[in-house]
Chain A
């Protein structure tokens, strides 16, 4: 058994165990860390397959950026608010197990009968070496034949970034747009208005509605001392209703 096969065996066993850890861990942070472990092992397998650029990009992008983002989200969300990890009705569990078995069967069938083999691409290892290595070969292909898809990908990423910004801080985008509209709109009327525009009235509640405070959600405590306020808190875990 050559050294390459041995190393591949070790790496794949560890990767599979880490993947199992992703699914079976109780704590979502443990899950994410197991996933990081899986990614690193996959990167090592890519190195064995002589795709070293893909390996480092896998670590930089997947492990170093995407999974860090996932970890941020997991850590900032309360444990109670996370979706159920190991719950679910018995029927769901059985169904899930069956679907998993079916998928496993398909993958095993594809591997064992060796019908799922990819086509050999146009680049042989000698051609790659002649181009100067993996990175140079990728560069040649990507930036000559696939320039437009790369630009499209960049635009897609830009749209995603702007979308995230708009969702998180809409005022950052809408306020300048509003201001620009005001500046750029050609108005032929008097700056102070023609006198025909509707005045804006503050919407008042219909008469007779009592707000929560008036209806007595909590008694109005004009506390003179701190102890008085502590005895009758308006919020918090010691609040007795």
Chain B
């Protein structure tokens, strides 16, 4: 009975460590890619190709003075970044990194857990993620921080609606909320005459895919939706007063969120571990890397949205489109077009 739990713990441990390592090297990836897109080189000195840069950053942030403002609400000031950082990797607990394999005679699931409300669980984590931002901004005792925090919270809450609703099309087509089931559904092959395509939901739900991407970029507070933490506008938003490693908690939580969202997008729309020759975790990694590159590409290319434009986009443009998508998907499922 307990071997199930033990395999969950071991897989979870491995996933968490890989995620943390990937998060550190995501900073390197972003700096290099951003630099190349801006026609410069990025970190090249610390180690070959600047590969030890994350280590240097970590040492620097750890050795900085820890300043707590006098006006700060001390308990919440200390707790807020931890809340952000702890909630970030929890989303990776439901992402399937493979099917069930047999290792040394034991059945090992290559995912931490398979709950039948997995996609809702991820949305729930997104809802809880707002707390790190609000509490961080409030506890700093600084008007700009509070303003940045409230703006950011309003943005996250609005785009959460779009994010959740854009996934309903996927749920209608797959009939299940569990990510393992969704991945299995996507590995079916549909045939249109002589053309054989896998049942990836990016093909059957292109609108939902676009909406999900936009909403995900806004949820993770990344460019071009990063007004709440924009240095030029609000000094730093909700993480103004945080220094040293506390600041890095927020910063790294954002990167982990990016990685988890990329994994999620690959799982829900691109088939996850599904691939042409051999299905496995390497395909998931390739797809997640595509999304991560897309994130950095957006940052390098697009100017920032003004706050009212941001909110207007969510409520006036994306929300009607998302409802249109749900209606269309429902109609298609009702009348049963083809193998869908």
**CB within 8 Å of B: which residues of A?**
27, 29-30, 33, 36, 40, 52-53, 56-57, 59-60, 63-65, 68, 71-72, 75-76, 132-135
A68 and B73 contacting across the interface, CB-CB below 8 Å: no
**A148 to B130 CA separation, bound complex (whole angstroms):** 34
The residue that B134 contacts in the complex, of A60, A68, A133, with Cβ under 8 A, is A68
Contacts of A76 in B (CB 8 A): 150
A53 and B117 contacting across the interface, CB-CB below 8 Å: yes
B153 proximal to A (CB < 8 A):
yes
Task: State the Cβ distance, A154 to closest chain B Cβ, in Å.
Answer: 13
Query: Given A33-B135, A59-B124, A59-B128, do A133 and B116 touch, yes or no (CB 8 Å)?
Result: yes
Q: Would you give the 0/1 interface string for B36-67, flagging 1 where the beta carbon is closer than 8 Å to chain A?
A: 00000000000000000000000000000000
**A63 to B83 CA separation, bound complex (whole angstroms):** 14
Contacts of B128 in A (CB 8 A): 40, 59, 63-64
B127 and A65 contacting across the interface, CB-CB below 8 Å: yes
In the complex, the 10 A-B pairs of residues with the closest C-beta atoms, listed nearest first:
A64-B127, A59-B124, A56-B120, A133-B116, A56-B124, A60-B124, A60-B127, A52-B117, A56-B117, A75-B138
Task: State the Cβ distance, B51 to closest chain A Cβ, in Å.
Answer: 38
Contacts of A29 in B (CB 8 A): 73, 76, 135, 138
B293 proximal to A (CB < 8 A):
no
A63 and B127 contacting across the interface, CB-CB below 8 Å: yes
**Which chain A residue shows the least CB distance to B120?**
A56
26 contacts between A and B (CB under 8 A): A29-B76, A29-B135, A33-B76, A33-B79, A33-B131, A36-B131, A52-B116, A53-B120, A56-B120, A56-B123, A56-B124, A60-B123, A60-B124, A64-B130, A64-B157, A64-B160, A65-B127, A65-B157, A68-B130, A68-B131, A68-B134, A68-B153, A71-B134, A71-B138, A72-B150, A134-B116
Contacts of A133 in B (CB 8 A): 116
**A30 to B130 CA separation, bound complex (whole angstroms):** 16
Contacts of A36 in B (CB 8 A): 131
B288 proximal to A (CB < 8 A):
no
Q: Would you give the 0/1 interface string for B141-153, flagging 1 where the beta carbon is closer than 8 Å to chain A?
A: 0000010001001
Interface residues of B in 261-295 (CB under 8 A from A): none
The residue that B177 contacts in the complex, of A33, A60, A65, A135, with Cβ under 8 A, is A135
Which label, helix, strand, loop or mixed, suits the secondary structure of the B interface? helix
**Which chain B residue shows the least CB distance to A58?**
B124
Query: Given A30-B75, A52-B117, A65-B157, do A75 and B127 touch, yes or no (CB 8 Å)?
Result: no
Task: State the Cβ distance, B118 to closest chain A Cβ, in Å.
Answer: 9
Task: State the Cβ distance, A35 to closest chain B Cβ, in Å.
Answer: 12
Task: State the Cβ distance, B218 to closest chain A Cβ, in Å.
Answer: 16
**A56 to B73 CA separation, bound complex (whole angstroms):** 30
**A29 to B134 CA separation, bound complex (whole angstroms):** 11
Task: State the Cβ distance, B42 to closest chain A Cβ, in Å.
Answer: 37
Contacts of B150 in A (CB 8 A): 72, 75-76
B121 proximal to A (CB < 8 A):
yes
Query: Given A33-B76, A59-B128, A68-B157, do A135 and B146 touch, yes or no (CB 8 Å)?
Result: no
**A237 to B127 CA separation, bound complex (whole angstroms):** 41
**Which chain A residue shows the least CB distance to B139?**
A29
B115 proximal to A (CB < 8 A):
yes
B117 and A135 contacting across the interface, CB-CB below 8 Å: yes
Contacts of A33 in B (CB 8 A): 76, 79, 131, 135
**A29 to B115 CA separation, bound complex (whole angstroms):** 33
Task: State the Cβ distance, A67 to closest chain B Cβ, in Å.
Answer: 9
**Which chain B residue shows the least CB distance to A69?**
B157
The residue that A59 contacts in the complex, of B127, B153, B157, with Cβ under 8 A, is B127
**A132 to B175 CA separation, bound complex (whole angstroms):** 10
Task: State the Cβ distance, A14 to closest chain B Cβ, in Å.
Answer: 15
Query: Given A68-B134, A72-B153, do A52 and B115 touch, yes or no (CB 8 Å)?
Result: yes
Given A59-B128, A75-B150, 7 more pairs with CB closer than 8 A: A29-B135, A33-B79, A53-B117, A68-B157, A72-B150, A76-B150, A134-B116
**A27 to B74 CA separation, bound complex (whole angstroms):** 12
**A142 to B62 CA separation, bound complex (whole angstroms):** 53
**A29 to B117 CA separation, bound complex (whole angstroms):** 31
**Which chain B residue shows the least CB distance to A74?**
B138
**A60 to B124 CA separation, bound complex (whole angstroms):** 5
Task: State the Cβ distance, A145 to closest chain B Cβ, in Å.
Answer: 20
Interface residues of B in 173-215 (CB under 8 A from A): 176-177
B76 and A30 contacting across the interface, CB-CB below 8 Å: yes
**A146 to B279 CA separation, bound complex (whole angstroms):** 43
A135 and B76 contacting across the interface, CB-CB below 8 Å: no
Contacts of B126 in A (CB 8 A): 64
**A59 to B157 CA separation, bound complex (whole angstroms):** 14
Contacts of B131 in A (CB 8 A): 33, 36, 68
**A51 to B75 CA separation, bound complex (whole angstroms):** 33
**A220 to B146 CA separation, bound complex (whole angstroms):** 37
**A52 to B160 CA separation, bound complex (whole angstroms):** 20
Task: State the Cβ distance, B227 to closest chain A Cβ, in Å.
Answer: 18
A56 and B75 contacting across the interface, CB-CB below 8 Å: no
**A31 to B287 CA separation, bound complex (whole angstroms):** 43
Contacts of B177 in A (CB 8 A): 135
Contacts of A132 in B (CB 8 A): 176
